[in-house]
């Protein structure tokens, strides 16, 4: 919502709201979800591995990580064409351990690419807790090593997320550079319905339940 509708966004498996916020017609979206020919990928895909150029959405790639390099490419094209546009790309905390994350952030830093890297840090990469995923205190700290601006915000505070993206997007359009934005959140369900949540201590659920209420 905080970006212009012709700015590219690269969502992941937890960001299906992007499709509705971008105004995709719901009948066509439902046809997509049901794998019908009149969806967006002519029945070849269903839920979130599809994109639509018309709505400036790049579909999720199953292998975690590569979407960040693609965001760099879109950012570079925008820079070369002097379009003054921002690209936003999502990754989960688990995806930050992929080599693609490091490569994409590094090249975005040295080429001043107008890309907002959003880390949706929901405390677990599938069943791997974040303390087994990275050694630094916060994922936002990684921005220091790449020499790019970074910050951590409350990902459950919709206004904080909106304001941060809106403010930075405006600034980046005029002064192209990347931003690493860590949004702290939690998932109250399993990675997917089948895997359950047995690996999550009950206290964590209690803690996050209190934050949500």
Q: Which amino acids are annotated catalytic?
A: 187, 191, 199
Q: How far is the CB of 112 from ligand TPP (least distance, A)?
A: 27
CB 177 within 8 A of CB 149: yes
Grouping H, G, I as helix, E, B as strand and the rest as coil, residue 193 is: helix
Instruction: Considering only residues 137 through 166, tell me which ones interact with ligand TPP, judged by CB under 6 A.
Output: none
Q: Which is nearer to ligand TPP, 102 or 187 (CB)?
A: 187
Q: What is d(CA 97, CA 35) in angstroms, rounded to the nearest whole number?
A: 32
Q: What is the total residue count of the chain?
A: 213
Selected binder of ligand TPP within 67, 122, 150, 185 (CB under 6 A): 122
> Under rule CB under 6 A, how many of the chain's residues touch ligand TPP?
15
Window contacting ligand TPP (CB under 6 A); options: 16-24, 58-66, 67-75, 106-114: 58-66
> Which residues neighbour 168 within 8 Å (Cβ) at sequence distance 6 or greater?
86, 116, 179, 181
Whichever of 112 and 127 has its CB closer to ligand TPP, that residue is 127
Q: How far apart are CA 44 and CA 147, in angstroms?
A: 41
Question: What track of x and - describes contact with ligand TPP for positions 7 through 46 (by CB under 6 A)?
Answer: -------x--------------------------------
The dihedral built from the CA positions of residue 29, 34, 39 and 45, taken in this order, carries a sign that is positive
In this structure, the strands spanning 124-125 and 128-129 are: antiparallel
Does residue 51 interact with ligand TPP by CB under 6 A?
A: no
In this complex, which beta carbon is closest to ligand TPP, that of residue 69 or of residue 77? 69
Q: Does 63 bind ligand TPP (CB under 6 A)?
A: yes
Please give the DSSP secondary-structure letter assigned to residue 124: E
Applying CB under 6 A, which residues contact ligand TPP? 14, 62-64, 92-95, 98, 122, 124-126, 187, 191
């Amino acid at each position: 919502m905080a970006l212009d509708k012709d700015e590219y966004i690269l969502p992941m498996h937890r960001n299906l709201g992007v499709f509705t916020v971008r105004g995709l017609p719901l009948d066509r979206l439902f046809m997509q979800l049901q794998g019908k020919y009149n969806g967006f990928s002519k029945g070849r895909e269903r839920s979130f591995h599809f994109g639509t150029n018309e709505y400036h959405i790049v579909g999720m790639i199953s292998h975690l990580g590569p979407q960040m390099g693609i965001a760099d490419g879109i950012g570079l094209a925008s820079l070369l064409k002097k379009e003054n546009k921002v690209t936003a790309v999502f990754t989960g905390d688990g995806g930050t351990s992929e080599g693609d994350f490091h490569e994409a952030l590094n090249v975005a830093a040295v080429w001043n690419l107008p890309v907002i890297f959003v880390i949706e840090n929901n405390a677990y990469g599938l069943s791997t807790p974040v303390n087994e995923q990275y050694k630094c205190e916060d994922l936002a700290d990684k921005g220091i090593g790449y020499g790019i601006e970074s910050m951590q915000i409350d990902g459950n505070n919709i206004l904080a997320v909106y304001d941060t993206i809106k403010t930075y997007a405006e600034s980046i359009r005029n002064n192209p550079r990347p931003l690493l934005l860590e949004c702290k959140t939690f998932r109250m369900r399993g990675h997917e319905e089948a895997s359950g949540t047995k690996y999550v201590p009950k206290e964590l659920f209690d803690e996050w339940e209190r934050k949500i209420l």
